[in-house]
Structure 1
Amino acid sequence: MLFPAFFRTLIGSEVVVELKSGVKLQGTLQACDDYLNLRMTDVSSAGRDAQPYLQGLQSCFVRYLRTLAS
């Protein structure tokens, strides 16, 4: 479980997460579980892909979804 251990060292740091849709969220990492789900606070949409509905976002939960190839 190398990746969750690495992400836990980043708790309290400013991070940028890029979603599958291309939207980038910038915020403070508050928690990370063994499935790489992330909880962030002080979130803002970063970059030119900023969506209007993300402007009022203060905290979010990013769920890691792994798809298996058939």
Structure 2
Amino acid sequence: MTVTSDITVLQAIRQAGAEVLSSCEQGICGTCLTPVLEGTPDHRDSVLTDHERSAGNCLVPCVSRSCCDRLVLDL
């Protein structure tokens, strides 16, 4: 699925017909924290620490985007 830069990862997941548990959808609660299997997330949340962001193995999809052409999540 091609995702444009004006939608969040969570919106793209839902458009693809999948679902991720979410609550605040503002990047502050961490309910939707999702493992990243491949790619580089563009973190825009207030949940992850700098260390967790640099590790790149999870993201908060309700506010995040991708820094690369392909982002694979463990849904």
Relative to the length of structure 1, the TM-score reads 0.25
More strand per residue? 1
Structure scoring higher RCO (CA < 8 A, sep ≥ 6) equals 2
Larger Rg: 1
